[in-house]
Structure 1
Amino acid sequence: MAAQRTRQPTRRWRQVVRTPLGAGASLLMALVLLLALVAPMLWTDQADAVDTGNILAGPSAEHWAGTDNLGRDILFRSLVAARLSVGLALTATAIAIVLGLLLGTAPMLLGRRLGRLVTASVDIAVAFPGLLLALFFAVIFGVGARGAVLAIGIAGAPSFARLVHTLVAGVAARDYVAAARAAGVGRVRVLLRHVLPNISEPLIVNATIGAGGALLSFAGLSFLGLGVQAPQYDWGRLLFDGIGALYVNPAAALAPGLTVLLAGLAFNLFGESVAKGLGVATLGHLPERRSAGPATSGPPTIRAEEPVVAGDDEAPVLDVRDLWVSFPGADGPVQPVRGVSFAVRRGEAVGVVGESGSGKSLTALAVSRLIEEPGRVEAARLQLLGADLRTGSERAQRQLLGTSLAMVFQDPMTSFNPTRRMGGQLAEVARQHQGMTRRDAFGRAVDRLAAVRIPEARRRAGQYPHEFSGGMRQRAMIGMGLMGSPALIIADEPTTALDVTVQQQVLDLLQAIREADDVALVLISHDVTVVGEVCDRVLVMYAGRIVEDLAAADLATGAAHPYTRALVAAVPDMETDLEQPLAVVPGRPVAPGEVPAGCAYAARCPLADDRCRAEDPQLASFETPDHRVACWHAGEPIPVDGPREPAPVDPVELVEVDAP
């Protein structure tokens, strides 16, 4: 299988040349490159031979394209000029690629502010035609081959930079990039190891097409007298000389013009055939990129909701208080996480449940410091093992998060870099944070794969992610988190894409790791039953807030919030009447940017009254200090015939939790 994966890129490139277009373009490209290599060695003497007795002669058996104003053979000169023409075009393309990579990756490497400045500059440059930019820079750098190379290279950089920026933005959102960042891998290393290898194919394709454009641009500058100067000559210079004798000998301009045309077609057709064969977008077929909205101010004044944690006085592994996550929106900041507070102690398992869009995953990403600009994270307290994650150097935070926190993402297929072997990806954590050698880190990776029950761990470490089953990839993701000594595992929907049997295996593995090493666990899931079986406590989230915090043992019978009871009722069991429709939560979840006044669940709640629609209830204790509910009618029976009439609420039922 490993050998098969190694041969796969070769087969994909062979598939390109099997089409008529691909075969013809590849042959033409090979001829152009071969001509550039061998022509000067074979025909330089004939090209430079001066024959004053045969000046400006027309085509003949001795000179197929005629001669120039010194009697030199135009055809031989056109062939010899291939090396300089192609070489200068490739050099200009290389400059455009290097500058484009630097500009396109700047937002990822420099951060939001400087990145936006670079992106805005690139957008302005792209608005100008490439040839106009080349002429502008040619005047700045001066007449000659060097100035023309710099001019064409710099003029081609903005288009390539926009392509790079678009591709990088797409890959940077993948789970395996987030996993690398959660492991504490630096920005440059993430870029080189995880981003660029996965965008290499479209970059190669567009660089090939760009080389054809550079060739034509260079010929144009030389034709205008801004490029190659005598005694050197390229195709543009020969075309310039041939135009002067156009009425005497049309072939003098036809020969260099034809070589420019064929070479340009070779590069462009080859790039297009590769793009079609590999399914890669080219510069002319990129999706429109919309810029992010302006930065907005942070969340409004927030209210403290003190987490209640059962147990002794031991400091929690994770302590979160008043966590807000906001993003800029058209009508002001959108806040998908609003004032979340909770804590997790060593060895404790806390489940987080709720519908899609309730803020579960964003809370986990905020804790892991994986929310980038323009998103903003603010909290009254955000501590891991007593260390404040809101302050301190980025290096110190990476070191802490990379060794003490393990993140298990939802989709096991996108959690790993598809271009790297599994052992190398796991070993990167040990090399980055523990200073291990390559050999020792690989040995540690094999040991961790074996620890998460992957058979033949050493052989599997040399395979690629696609050679693992879904359950094995998820276990390998857990193994990556165990490369250090994590005190906290955050598992974000770790069983969503797996069948029931494999789901149980993954849950059993998490439970075994938790019990063996006294590791704290935060399990995010849509499955209320799974959370109730695995966790000690359950946090129920709705519209970015925790609406109930209760013991997992009380989830089925002791839930007090109508939303929690609706989630539990929506899970069928062996006693569900198959003749009746399945229970569902009525209505739709509230969009983060459209949270109404009062209780966000009021529009879907059968207990809602005027007070619910006007006042937002605080998260407060209900019956016991370990049970918190944010509801004006917590624990009241739900009518079976729809919403009840508005009724007064006894304020004694809820007791506010005092902040320390």
Structure 2
Amino acid sequence: MARRWLAVLRTPLGLTTGLLVTAVLLLAVVAPILWSDRAEAVDTDHILAAPSGEHWAGTDSLGRDIFFRALVASRLSLELALVATVVGVVAGLLLGAAPLMLGRRLGRLVTAGVNIAVAFPGLLLALFFAVVFGVGATGAVLAIGLAGAPSFARLVHTLVAGVASLDYVSAARVAGVGRFRVLLRHVLPNIAEPLVVNATISAGGALLAFAGLSFLGLGVQAPAYDWGRLLFEGVGMIYVNPAAALAPGLAVLLAGLAFNLFGEAVAKGLGVTTVGGIRMPAVTPSRPGSGSRSEAARGEHLAMAPSDLVLDVRDLRVSFPGPTGPIRPVRGVTFSVRHGEALGVVGESGSGKSLTALAVARLIEEPGRVEASRMEFRGADLRDGASAHRHLLGTSMAMVFQDPMTSFNPTRRIGGQLAEVAVHHQGMTRKQALARAVERLDAVRVPEPGRRATQYPHEFSGGMRQRAMIGMGVMGTPSLIIADEPTTALDVTVQQQVLDLLQSIRDEDDVALVLISHDVTVVGEVCDRVLVMYAGRIVEDLPADRLDGGARHPYTRALVAAVPDMDTDLDQPLAVVPGRPVDPADVPPGCAFAARCPLADARCRAEDPPLEPAADGSQVACWHAGEPLGLDEATGVLVEVEGP
């Protein structure tokens, strides 16, 4: 970080404007000390004198030296401008972060108010607030600060929205971290650079605006004076002594340019776009090979969930507003997961796998809507919202995201991020929590965990980051781990290591696992049961050992056939699923897979088949379940096999 800022100062513009800003700030400090007496000295023998060797910019109506008054005025001018900038930045931060802090409804109201305020010119807002707060320096500071707040709030809102959608913020929320702490520890550090740059530019604008208000008589009042007040007085004698207005005018121009150009130089150098309660006892962790969890933890577990079910979801629906009506990417999903069970979820991109997991974890924000007739985790109703079950979600549900690079906050050390869960939910001190974080890194087979805990995410390889992410999930005593395509960005060897790690955690602590993946083979090897999703619905629910050869839905059979194995004939085209997945915004009537299915008939295109149980305990949603299919060797597409 420091190198990047030093690189800015090595550019001609950055160095020049940096020196100029430094000079202006030094002047504001030393000028009142050195020249206040000369600036206040009244000389009635030289009233309204023209510029001379004794008075470089002439004198005012009391014979006071205008040049020295302009130098001394630098302190008050900069002080007031910087205070106004601070007011604008603080107000902008509060308004811009409101959607994250206040929730859906209040956040939308605040955002709407900001959007309305941005539509008004800044000067008009400043004049309005100046009238509201009254004439004087205090009123002008509040007026300029609040007038600049809407544009800064818009910037903050845009940046916060971008960071709040990343995986490491979602992971912190699943861990039960409060909104305020998420903002301070995970969001603001990652948007600090553009905010600093724009605040620097705003200081230049505030300086000019404050001079303008003082010039109009709404700012600093006599006998105090700033550059705007001096400019106002100088204009009154412009025909007698033009230099009386030139000196404060040049001071405002140079200082304003210095801040604005320095901010632009920093923005260019950094590549930044500029736009205007219950303390819980510590749980003794179990190490690999040390057996199951402590009796206390197991007792808490049983007290929380007397049923064998860890997760019970009925008729889950997720919708988003669209131009022609609601878009429903998840349509009536029903499933359950028991202790120690591994449930796989497969399907093409857009089938609703990840949205189902996010809905269970309560990570879908407005304008998305999550509805379900039942959604219980360890006996707790998740429909009440994440905040009602923050401790439960933070300690009993873990989530491993797809991209290990975005799963951690890049500005914080790995150990600190893992420790956050223990500090919030297990009543540990920071030292105890860091020690547990090191132990958890060791438990997930991260080498040299003590040293690794002090490193940043970019110092970890992809596989190590994914292990650390799993380590964050097991900082508590999870009953359920949701792994959303945890091996997608990893090579084959590391993929197997991550899957083996998940399996070992499941075996040791009787943890339920929901594994979301595109890879049917991986799911078949790791899981006990498989849900196959298509167009936001479950089309088949079957034991994993029956995927290859026992699947009854044409879509499931096509997915399995599309995975090559050692017996695949390399001289023939690889099997494919013809056509494209259904657009959630335009789901056709009847079976959504009908357009791609070789068995589809008129009934399939008119009636959507329900998910019905079969005699072997599986479930399938198809009017032609189990009918024979063959592989067209010429095209690699599954086709209907006609009867004898």
User: Which bracket does the TM-score occupy, shorter chain normalised?
Assistant: over 0.9
RMSD: 1.6
Report the counterpart of residue 286 of structure 2 in structure 1.
Answer: none
Deviating more after overlay: 637-646 vs 146-155: 637-646
1:562 corresponds to 2:554: yes
Alpha-carbon contact 1:354-1:541 (below 8 Å) kept: yes
TM-score for the superposition, normalised by structure 2: 0.93
Equivalent residue for 1:431, pick from 423, 430, 438:
423
Q: Deviations over 1:331-366 (max 9, x none)?
A: 111111111111111111110000000000000011
Alpha-carbon contact 2:630-2:640 (below 8 Å) kept: no
Secondary structure of the corresponding residue to residue 390 of structure 1: helix
Report the counterpart of residue 455 of structure 2 in structure 1.
Answer: 463
Equivalent residue for 1:542, pick from 534, 539, 556:
534
Report the counterpart of residue 47 of structure 1 in structure 2.
Answer: 39
Quick one: which amino acid aligns to residue 350 of structure 2? G
1:492 corresponds to 2:490: no
Report the counterpart of residue 250 of structure 1 in structure 2.
Answer: 242
Shift of 1:80: 0.5
Secondary structure of the corresponding residue to residue 597 of structure 1: coil
Return the alpha-carbon distance in structure 1 between the equivalents of residues 338 and 39 of structure 2: 83
Secondary structure of the corresponding residue to residue 81 of structure 1: helix
User: 1:75-94 alignment to 2 at 5 Å?
Assistant: 75-94=67-86
Alpha-carbon contact 1:608-1:643 (below 8 Å) kept: no
Alpha-carbon contact 2:345-2:532 (below 8 Å) kept: yes
User: 1:192-591 alignment to 2 at 5 Å?
Assistant: 192-284=184-276, 315-391=308-384, 395-591=387-583
Residues 314/218 of structure 1: CA separation in 2 closer, same or farther (3 Å cut):
closer
Alpha-carbon contact 1:609-1:646 (below 8 Å) kept: no
Q: Deviations over 1:471-509 (max 9, x none)?
A: 000000000000000011000000000011100100000
Quick one: which amino acid aligns to residue 187 of structure 1? R
Flag structure 1 segments of 5+ consecutive residues without an equivalent. 1-8, 285-312, 649-660
Quick one: which amino acid aligns to residue 635 of structure 1? G
Shift of 1:389: 1.2
Return the alpha-carbon distance in structure 2 between the equivalents of residues 645 and 110 of structure 1: 56
Q: Deviations over 1:277-328 (max 9, x none)?
A: 11111115xxxxxxxxxxxxxxxxxxxxxxxxxxxx9521111111111111
Return the alpha-carbon distance in structure 1 between the equivalents of residues 5 and 630 of structure 2: 66
Residues 436/567 of structure 1: CA separation in 2 closer, same or farther (3 Å cut):
same
Secondary structure of the corresponding residue to residue 190 of structure 1: helix
Report the counterpart of residue 626 of structure 2 in structure 1.
Answer: 635
Q: Deviations over 1:43-97 (max 9, x none)?
A: 1111111111111111111111111111111110101000000000000010001
Flag structure 2 segments of 5+ consecutive residues without an equivalent. 277-305
Deviating more after overlay: 575-584 vs 363-372: 575-584
Alpha-carbon contact 1:549-1:627 (below 8 Å) kept: yes
Residues 644/579 of structure 1: CA separation in 2 closer, same or farther (3 Å cut):
closer
Q: Deviations over 1:535-584 (max 9, x none)?
A: 11111000000001111111011111111111111111112222222221
1:37 corresponds to 2:29: yes
Shift of 1:638: 2.2
Shift of 1:623: 3.6
Alpha-carbon contact 1:16-1:278 (below 8 Å) kept: yes
Report the counterpart of residue 305 of structure 1 in structure 2.
Answer: none
Return the alpha-carbon distance in structure 2 between the equivalents of residues 245 and 31 of structure 1: 29
Equivalent residue for 1:143, pick from 135, 140, 148:
135
Return the alpha-carbon distance in structure 1 between the equivalents of residues 511 and 439 of structure 2: 19
Alpha-carbon contact 2:598-2:640 (below 8 Å) kept: no
Return the alpha-carbon distance in structure 1 between the equivalents of residues 613 and 128 of structure 2: 70
Report the counterpart of residue 652 of structure 1 in structure 2.
Answer: none
Shift of 1:645: 9.5
Alpha-carbon contact 1:612-1:632 (below 8 Å) kept: yes
Quick one: which amino acid aligns to residue 353 of structure 1? V
Q: Deviations over 1:569-627 (max 9, x none)?
A: 11111122222222211110001111110000001111111000000000112341x21
1:127 corresponds to 2:123: no
Shift of 1:408: 0.3
Quick one: which amino acid aligns to residue 144 of structure 2? I
Secondary structure of the corresponding residue to residue 23 of structure 1: helix
Return the alpha-carbon distance in structure 2 between the equivalents of residues 640 and 448 of structure 1: 48
Return the alpha-carbon distance in structure 1 between the equivalents of residues 391 and 572 of structure 2: 54
Report the counterpart of residue 292 of structure 1 in structure 2.
Answer: none
Secondary structure of the corresponding residue to residue 629 of structure 2: coil
Return the alpha-carbon distance in structure 2 between the equivalents of residues 588 and 435 of structure 1: 51
Q: Deviations over 1:490-537 (max 9, x none)?
A: 000000000111001000000011111111100000011100111111
Alpha-carbon contact 2:582-2:592 (below 8 Å) kept: yes
Q: How many positions carry a matched residue from both structures?
A: 610
Return the alpha-carbon distance in structure 2 between the equivalents of residues 395 and 340 of structure 1: 24
Report the counterpart of residue 187 of structure 1 in structure 2.
Answer: 179
Equivalent residue for 1:613, pick from 602, 605, 613:
605
The structure 1 segments of at least 4 consecutive aligned residues displaced by more than 3 Å after TM superposition are: 393-396, 639-648
